[in-house]
Structure 1
């Protein structure tokens, strides 16, 4: 009978015909709602933890098959079982049957948020409906974890404070390093520079004797190996580099070089400028200023010289123009001068003395006249 309805409940007869009286078998069909149960056990836990779901049963079912499934439908629970008492282990699920106490336990390791669901614990019965108990599991994301930020200096000691609850007084305390709590390295056991000290009933401290650059990162103070919320502290450690008291920003610009960015993941870096470098920068700035001033003066001098040259050129042009009109007078003057010189030559002949050099042309006299006028 598929897709059962409530009207299908009742008494049925199975019959076989034969000679004489037929054979009949009576069957009573009982229908119940495909859901469970009136009482639900609610459990909360966090990602990464392990959780055990407890499923009680009556003593007469000690040897019966036990199983667990997701959901709230008893009719399909056995077919979709995550684990049964016959398999014991299936991935992250493990089943342990305690027949003395009448309870079987299903443990889920490494919980994830997808494990949040309703579960049915089932006990198989051969002649009747299986018996179920319901569990509702809620897996929460990690939150509200104590987190602190600490700065340390390379080459200097540093002490980290780690609080823990009073009930963990006798527990082993340790400090581990890593981005995730489930994958970190115990620093006290692996590094001799890390020393742990229990301060009493509420905290312990870890001292790093000499800080190194690679000490920067994420640390976890633990007092409970099960990583329960509230039983550990997250520490973000940054390492600072210091050389002197005066520092420059992480971006340092130097003459003739490109900008240098001094960075390191998770680190704060201080850079100290040497005094000689500052002196060189100041001298360079003064030289640049003087060169600019001298260039401005040279430009002004050139402009003045150009102006004077223009004035002189205009004067020369004016004189040349005047000389054109005076050239005839110069020529007349030169002819008269030639006559006087020839007369003087004749006088020298009469005296019997050597004649002076009279090899002077009219062109030279004209040019000399121009030269004197120009001056």
Structure 2
């Protein structure tokens, strides 16, 4: 009879162990963080004391009880409505991993639930996807997941600490749009995509894509985003004359030779207006051998002055486009440059003074010389000191000496008077 009782006892113990193994609660925590161990109990035990213990669960193995809810790095809380008590273990270290027991005190043998605690490093991951982009661009980050998580919560956070990722999530699949961030979940392909608009260099850094798992730690994949400064643009300055043809040359990398070519006008590339090549004045001609294309303008206009952008990469990758500053000159007018207005140049009045005044003075001088010369000669021929009978002979006979000297003196006097004439 004794042997039969022993056999029944052994069978009961064995059944209890099988039940325990089938009902083991698996919990995973992060080293250096805290973890919650939650255990449920049956109705009727709401007022009973609950506790958490390790190893053989002797008196020295009890870590915390509901009658003393805080001790060392353990805290316990009993939610009697849901009939679940939860123990929080903080500042986890490798020695904290192992087997625990959730216990409910009662008369006779207590009720136990086995807990297996596993610890993992609070970092991720062995593989990191690197993404490069530039300031002002939009960039999408792809995060794959397994098919069993189609309906699970997805999210993304900054940093590489899985323990706090969900609490610090930038966006989740529940919200889908949050400022510059948008989340799209493609359940067919098993990938959710996070798009970040208007990138800045401050967006550079580590990111974690997370998929929530209620029974274990969440699943993560790591992304390293580098946002480069938008710089190093090939820039050129071109001058043209209104009414004349002009050719703009745009170079592009050879790998983009099959892309669509474009030319747009505007102070900034983000708001420039594409120039329609269908306009009669604009003609586009590609030269694949030199990795460039030409935009020909048949008749340049004043309004064509401004800033242009051309290239073959619609994503505006640095170095794959050219910035052109175009100035337009008008005939007999001022230069037209971006931000200035056209104004007609007024001739300088001083130019007319310099060239017209000397001509008038010279003409006046000649007239005065001729007039005074005639007056002096007329007065000389009627002088009362010259005898009338000899006048003709003296004049005619003295042309080589006395009369010529006299006329010379009169002319010099006339010139002197003319130069000092007011």
What TM-score, normalized by structure 2, do the two folds share? 0.56
Deviation digits for residues 270-321 of structure 1 (CA, Å, limit 9, x no counterpart):
99785874141467899xxxxxxxxxxxxxxxxxxxxxxxxxxxxxxxxxxx
Distance in 2 (alpha carbons) for counterparts of 1:285 and 1:79: 92
Q: 1:176 to 1:19 in 2, by over 3 A?
A: same
Distance in 1 (alpha carbons) for counterparts of 2:279 and 2:200: 33
Q: How many residues align?
A: 271
Distance in 2 (alpha carbons) for counterparts of 1:231 and 1:265: 24
Q: Could you tell me how far 1:123 is from its partner in structure 2? A: 1.6
Deviation digits for residues 183-212 of structure 1 (CA, Å, limit 9, x no counterpart):
011222696533323344522211223223
Which of 194, 211, 221 is 1:123 aligned to? 211
Q: Which runs of 5+ in 2 are unaligned?
A: 1-87, 360-422
Distance in 1 (alpha carbons) for counterparts of 2:130 and 2:196: 15
> Does 1:5 pair with 2:92?
yes
RMSD of aligned C-alpha atoms? Answer: 3.4
Distance in 2 (alpha carbons) for counterparts of 1:218 and 1:195: 18
Q: Could you tell me how far 1:219 is from its partner in structure 2? A: 0.1
Q: Could you tell me how far 1:31 is from its partner in structure 2? A: 3.0
> Does 1:29 pair with 2:117?
yes
Q: Could you tell me how far 1:50 is from its partner in structure 2? A: 2.5
Which of 315, 318, 329 is 1:240 aligned to? 329
Q: Is the 8 A contact 1:240 1:267 kept in 2?
A: no
> Does 1:97 pair with 2:185?
yes
Partner of 1:47: 135
Partner of 2:238: 150
Q: Is the 8 A contact 1:238 1:267 kept in 2?
A: no
Partner of 2:285: 197
The 10-residue stretch of structure 1 (167-176 or 125-134) with the greater mean CA deviation from structure 2: 167-176
Q: 1:53 to 1:274 in 2, by over 3 A?
A: closer
Larger-gyration structure (1/2): 1
Distance in 2 (alpha carbons) for counterparts of 1:40 and 1:108: 18
Q: Matches of residues 254-269 of structure 1 in structure 2 within 5 Å? A: none
Report the structure, 1 or 2, having the larger helix content.
1
Q: Is the 8 A contact 2:145 2:211 kept in 1?
A: yes
Distance in 2 (alpha carbons) for counterparts of 1:164 and 1:135: 30
Q: Is the 8 A contact 1:240 1:269 kept in 2?
A: no
> Does 1:17 pair with 2:88?
no
> Does 1:208 pair with 2:297?
yes
Distance in 1 (alpha carbons) for counterparts of 2:168 and 2:237: 48
Q: Is the 8 A contact 1:175 1:220 kept in 2?
A: yes
Q: 1:51 to 1:172 in 2, by over 3 A?
A: same
Q: Is the 8 A contact 1:188 1:195 kept in 2?
A: no
Q: 1:31 to 1:269 in 2, by over 3 A?
A: same
Q: Which runs of 5+ in 1 are unaligned?
A: 245-249, 251-261, 287-375
The 10-residue stretch of structure 1 (148-157 or 167-176) with the greater mean CA deviation from structure 2: 167-176
Q: Give the SS at the match of 1:55.
A: strand
Q: Is the 8 A contact 2:329 2:336 kept in 1?
A: no
Partner of 1:230: 319
Q: Could you tell me how far 1:122 is from its partner in structure 2? A: 1.1
Q: Could you tell me how far 1:181 is from its partner in structure 2? A: 0.7
